[in-house]
Structure 1
Amino acid sequence: MVVPEGFVVPPWYLLVPVVVILGGVIALLWALEPPVTDRTVLSFAPWMMFGSSLHVLYKLDAFPATIEPLFSAPMVYAVTAVVAGLAWIVAIFLHVGGLQPTVARFVGIAGTAFFTVFAMVAIFQSIELGTFEPFWPVVSVIVAGILTAIAWLVLGLWFTDVAATTGMTGALVVFGHTLDGVSTAVGYDVLGASENVPLSLLILEAGKALPTAGVIGAGWLFVLVKVGLAMVILGLFREYVEERPRQARTLLTLVAAVGLGPAVHNTLLFMVG
């Protein structure tokens, strides 16, 4: 098995329109060639979180059955990309028309609004059901923040050129993957959650087989791998960012999304129970 359990292929009458619209959005953005800076990448962080909230609501059976497959994995990624891409296009035209000072500002505010609304729906539903448990998710975010600061300090001291070149984009990549590692470790070691991604499960089982598992759990190895992998990727991207910053930062945005999306999904899901 090479894909996580729970992957759902929606009916063709849902799949085809989303794929066509997504292709159109990508083609229009390709034609517009908007600049991709650190601020642009950071403005898309709330959209990554928005996609996570949609999938959490899917797991809570919050959507009507007719459209529910749109928010399953991996379809939710395409739906999120469509909405975020449309917001980006609108922001570009608003900026060109003088109605917005920057493109990134509108994208970031819109993404934050979307994420807040859908996350609050999940939280309010869990409060009504009595399943709201914020302690360990909050701990996960705090620990991930501390580890990210340490990792970025190490990167800045020993590989200064990498940190300076990748900037806030690099910091987001490290934080996203660190939070993914920490939330997965907390879920596996503390909350008894299962892991559906085969490779992640393999690393967790390797950590469980070590003598340290009885003392500090099995998840620490997964955290170490995630943090180390994020830093290695940034090192490999340094020259690419210097030579072709727009393309390189776009790819790094996807790398950040692969970490931050699952991380926020874990955190929010553990919070709403």
Structure 2
Amino acid sequence: MQLLPEGFVLPPLPYLVGIVLVSLVIVGVLYRQTPRITKQTVVALAPWMTVGAGLYALEQATVVPAVLAPFASAPTVYLTTFVVVGAIVAVVGDRQPARFAIDSTPGVVLITGTVVAIGVFAVAGIAAVQSPPVHVFWPGVAVVGAAAITGGGWLLFRSFFPTAIEETGGAGLLVVFGHALDGLSTAVGLAFLGFGEQTPLSQLLIDAGGVGLFVVVKVLLAVVIVGLLTDYVREEPSEGNLLLAAIAAVGLGPGVHNVVLFAIVG
């Protein structure tokens, strides 16, 4: 049985060796620095998660120049994004990690990520306009619906697990929104736009219960995971928040990828 999502390809060897070596260097630098990972840091990483996802969508739509395309293909795009973000964190160090300020680590990560994300989405918008019609309705439904599901689910979650809300904060909210967007955008793509599911395990769930069940399971799993990680975040904040960031990324990344791709190619 196929386990990896469709579309995952290794880049040419020179690209692969280069990106892996640079990634290892960044990992080594960050390991020595051991920066604190806070809830604010996780939230600040959100724009960068969308950058990687947007670049992959642009690569699939053949918008990325050929010489750069290997860096934007999956799974290499995740290493590409990590290298850039890791380098930024290594430079700014451990500056006020629990605050959003212009010169704090979360602030710098958030500002740079937002600027780059705006550039990526601007390119996607231009590509969509150049290949009419522009498809905004169903991608918009996915985004608005995910926000509504997240808001309602978070209020319900807050009623039953107030400690989890306090401990995980915006990081936990990002996890729920990311997986709600992934689930709903996948459902929209399958039901209305003629797209197929690329991840084999997700396809098994969809085959078993349809897209509605898939969305419900994705959101419930996200909420449960946030609840289960509450104690870990309290006892080991950096490791716990880093894990929340990773879980948020595997939801938000695919969700944003779907939205951008749908908008460009419909």
Common fold by TM > 0.5 = yes
- The whole-number CA distance in structure 2 between the counterparts of 1:158 and 1:206 is 30
- 1:77-96 to 2 correspondences below 5 Å: 77-92=78-93
1:230 is matched with which residue: 219, 222, 241? 222
Q: Is 1:10 aligned to 2:18, yes or no? A: no
CA contact (8 A) 1:42 1:168 kept: yes
- Residue of structure 2 equivalent to 1:241: 233
Q: CA deviation at 1:121?
A: 0.7
Gaps of 5+ in 1: 208-217
Letter in 2 for 1:62: V
What value does the CA root-mean-square deviation take over the aligned residues?
1.8
| SS of alignment partner, residue 162 of structure 1 | helix
**1:89: Cα distance to partner?**
2.1
Distance 2:198 2:50 in 1: 20
Return the offset for 1:39.
1.2
* SS class of match (2:10): coil
Contact 2:61 2:261 in 1 (8 A): no
Superposed, 1:173-188 pairs within 5 Å as 173-188=175-190
Match of 1:268 in 2: 260
When structure 1 is superposed on structure 2, of 124-133 and 257-266 the one drifting more is: 124-133
Task: Report the Cα distance in structure 2 between the residues aligned to 1:63 and 1:100, rounded to whole angstroms.
Answer: 31
In the other structure, the counterpart of 2:250 is: 258
Match in the other structure for 2:204: 202
1:101 equivalent in alignment to 2:103:
yes
- From 158, 168, 171, the equivalent of 1:169 is 171
- SS of structure 2 residue aligned to 1:130: coil
Please tell me whether the aligned partners of residues 140 and 186 of structure 1 are also in contact (alpha carbons under 8 angstroms): yes
Supply the distance in 2 between the matched residues of 1:195 and 1:247 (Cα, whole angstroms): 31
2:67 counterpart SS class: coil
Residue 51 of structure 1 contacts residue 80 of structure 1 at CA under 8 Å; is this kept in 2? yes
Name the residue aligned to 2:74. Answer: 73
1:117 to 101, 116, 119: 119
The amino acid that maps onto 1:20 is L
How many angstroms does 1:100 deviate by? Answer: 4.9
Shift of 1:10: 1.2
Q: Name 2:137's counterpart in structure 1.
A: 135
Instruction: Classify the secondary structure of the residue corresponding to 2:64.
Output: coil
Aligned length: 261
Q: Deviations for 1:141-193, whole angstroms, at most 9, x for unmatched residues?
A: 11111110111112111122222211111000000001100101111111121
Alpha-carbon distance in structure 2 between the residues aligned to 1:114 and 1:67: 16
TM-score, structure 2 as length reference:
0.93
In 2, Cα distance between equivalents of 1:115 and 1:230: 24
CA–CA distance in structure 2, aligned partners of residues 84 and 267 of structure 1:
23
Secondary structure class of the residue paired with 1:242 = helix
CA distance in 1, matches of 2:64, 2:150: 35
Contact kept, 8 Å, 1:57 with 1:122, in 2: the verdict is yes
Q: How far 1:251 moved relative to its partner? A: 1.1
Q: Which runs of 5+ in 2 are unaligned?
A: none
For residues 87-129 of structure 1, what are the alpha-carbon distances to aligned partners after superposition, in whole Å with 9 as ceiling and x for unaligned?
Answer: 2223338889xx9531111110100111110111121011012
Tell me the alpha carbon deviations over residues 228-271 of structure 1, each in whole angstroms, 9 at most, x when there is no partner.
Answer: 11112112211111110011101110110000000000011111
